[in-house]
Amino acid sequence: MRNHTVIDSPYGPLTLVADDGVLSGLYMTGQRHRPPEENFGPRDDAPFGEPEEQLKAYFAGELKEFTLQLRLKGTDFQRAVWDQLRRIPYGETRSYGELAEALGNPGASRAVGLANGKNPIGIIVPCHRVVGADGGLTGYGGGLDRKQRLLAFESGAALF
């Protein structure tokens, strides 16, 4: 059973999607690779209490690491990249090349970038913490403005 809810955030409305009560999606308005609305199932706030509470604590600056059960659907390689994303500490960044090296495949930075862009659970699986080799901002499915704001927030330079 798939269902969804929409919550407010400092970065605009966030659509949370659950499969059988387990968080499987977090999408921003206008996000690249956002599935069609009809794929989210009926609206039902019930399975989203804990994800919503943890997101509120994160946006309040009180939570640095999410402890939610997630259902990440993708290829083995994508799931390996998303696992590496979850290992990037709050307030830090990694390059695509560093993630490729961590996966044991230093030549796979482009593939890492593609997998990063398909991350179905933004913010919680922190794909915004990935930057170019020179430390510059590169693509972000939620838009570069949101990426810059999220990184500034985590570095303490902004409150939202």
Catalytic one among 115, 127, 131, 150? 127
6 part of the active site: no
Residue 127 CB neighbours (<10 A): 25
User: How many distinct helices (H) and strands (E) make up the chain?
Assistant: 5, 5
> Residues 88, 64: contact at Cβ < 8 Å?
no
d(CA 58, CA 108): 31
Catalytically active residues are 127
